[in-house]
Amino acid sequence: MGTVMGDDSGVRNDLDQIEAALVGTPLAGLPIGHGPSGTVLVADVDPDRVHEAWQAADALVPVIGRLPVMVTDDDDTPMILPVPEQGPSVSELRAFAEAAESSDPWLAFRHYNEDQQVDADEVEFHARGVAGVDLTALVPGVVLPTPRPVLERALYDRLLADADLHAQVLDSARLVTSTEYWYTPDSVLLMLVPTDDVRSSAYWLDFHGALTGEEQQQFAEVLAHWRHRWDARLVASWGTMLQFQVGRRPAPGDEAWTAAGQLKALAPDLDLSRWEVAVALTAGDAWFVHNRP
């Protein structure tokens, strides 16, 4: 866990070392400078090469000691600063990470439909799905009324036993776990945060779903948990949207169901049913979080 050195010569050397490390990557030769709170920004990233550029920076974490995340200045921030700005102290960052580690983010992040009851006249709506595959035929035997998560889990379990329907759902929903589904702003910058610790990196992230200090700590724990469990690495933070590269896919069944619930909890504006997301997560390497005002 580190911070940018406070004296000008140290900071300049840090920029020089990073600039040298970027040689031979899609980030080579781009404008580089000081960002907010001890970060380093690389400007003018090609919007068509966001993932490729991020992967190059991610491979350099052992060399430069900074985690990369793509950000935008479409709303005029963050911008490269003329002089370095002091980041948090080591003790401040340690306190942030410790508070995050002791939190339970899934008590705070819950999808609003978790407490919804589904009556008999509403079943057809929930069984149709958003992506266009109708699971109404799988409903018989479900006792109603029932909590929506119970209904959706029953649909998911029965879907796993129906190869033809499962293939239809996968075909219609898999786009949400593809980089083709990702958003790309017109202006892209690479932000290098002054730490290689995933949990601590959330200190510098601007996410609409975590606006308070406590929510930011809980969000930090989500990042740490997802990295440990799924090797999910944050590629981009666009304010209301987050994009992850995922190294380990959840297995069908309990793993996918749990991961889908967590993704929906952090992304209330991801317009798919939980059973659709659970199917898609087993077949893709990119996660998309959408949480808008």
Average pLDDT, the chain: 92
Percentage with pLDDT > 70 across the chain: 94
**Is a pLDDT exceeding 80 seen at residue 29?**
yes
What integer pLDDT is reported at residue 18 of this predicted model?
Answer: 97
The CA-based diameter of the chain, rounded to the nearest angstrom, is 71
Q: Distance between CA 145 and CA 213 in Å, rounded?
A: 38
**CB 148, CB 126: distance < 8 Å:** yes
What integer pLDDT is reported at residue 131 of this predicted model?
Answer: 85
Per-residue pLDDT, averaged over 103-124, amounts to 90
What integer pLDDT is reported at residue 153 of this predicted model?
Answer: 96
Integer-rounded Cα Rg, in Å, for the chain is 21
Instruction: Tell me the pTM.
Output: 0.93
Reported in sequence order, the residue ranges of the chain that DSSP labels E, i.e. its strands, are: 32-34, 40-45, 67-71, 117-118, 146-147, 188-193, 232-237, 241-246, 286-290
**Is a pLDDT exceeding 60 seen at residue 8?**
no
What integer pLDDT is reported at residue 77 of this predicted model?
Answer: 61
Structural tokens at position 211: 């606006």
**Is a pLDDT exceeding 50 seen at residue 213?**
yes
Q: Distance between CA 19 and CA 34 in Å, rounded?
A: 12
